[in-house]
Amino acid sequence: QKEVEQDPGPLSVPEGAIVSLNCTYSNSAFQYFMWYRQYSRKGPELLMYTYSSGNKEDGRFTAQVDKSSKYISLFIRDSQPSDSATYLCACLSGNMLTFGGGTRLMVKP
Amino acid sequence: DTEVTQTPKHLVMGMTNKKSLKCEQHMGHRAMYWYKQKAKKPPELMFVYSYEKLSINESVPSRFSPECPNSSLLNLHLHALQPEDSALYLCASSQDPGLEQFFGPGTRLTVL
Residues of chain B in contact with residue A100, where contact means CB-CB under 8 angstroms, are 42
Task: Tell me what pLDDT residue B98 has.
Answer: 86
Is A44 touching B (CB cutoff 8 A)? yes
Cβ within 8 Å, pair A95-B97: yes
Residues of chain A in contact with residue B33, where contact means CB-CB under 8 angstroms, are 97
Task: Tell me what pLDDT residue B1 has.
Answer: 57
In this complex, the residue of A34, A43, A100 whose CB is nearest that of residue B106 is A43
A14: number of Cβ within 10 Å: 9
- List Cβ neighbours of A56 (8 Å cut-off, separation of 6 or more): A48, A50, A62, A63, A64
Alpha-carbon distance A85 to A82, whole Å? 8
Is A46 touching B (CB cutoff 8 A)? yes
Task: Tell me what pLDDT residue B57 has.
Answer: 87
CA-based end-to-end distance of chain A: 37
Residues of chain B in contact with residue A51, where contact means CB-CB under 8 angstroms, are none
Residue A48 has pLDDT above 80, yes or no: yes
Is B27 touching A (CB cutoff 8 A)? no
Instruction: For chain B, list residues with pLDDT below 50.
Output: none
Q: Tell me how close the Cα of B44 comes to any Cα of chain A, in angstroms.
A: 8
In degrees, rounded to 5, the angle at the alpha carbon of residue A22 between the alpha carbons of residues A85 and A39 is 10
Weakest mean pLDDT among A15-29, A41-55, A76-90 = A41-55
Rounded average pLDDT over A48-71 = 93
Alpha-carbon distance A49 to A97, whole Å? 12
Task: Tell me what pLDDT residue A95 has.
Answer: 82
B43: number of Cβ within 10 Å: 28
Q: Taking a contact as any Cβ pair under 8 Å apart, which residues of chain A between 74 and 103 contact chain B?
A: 88, 92, 94-97, 99-102
Residues of chain B in contact with residue A40, where contact means CB-CB under 8 angstroms, are none
Alpha-carbon distance A31 to B40, whole Å? 26
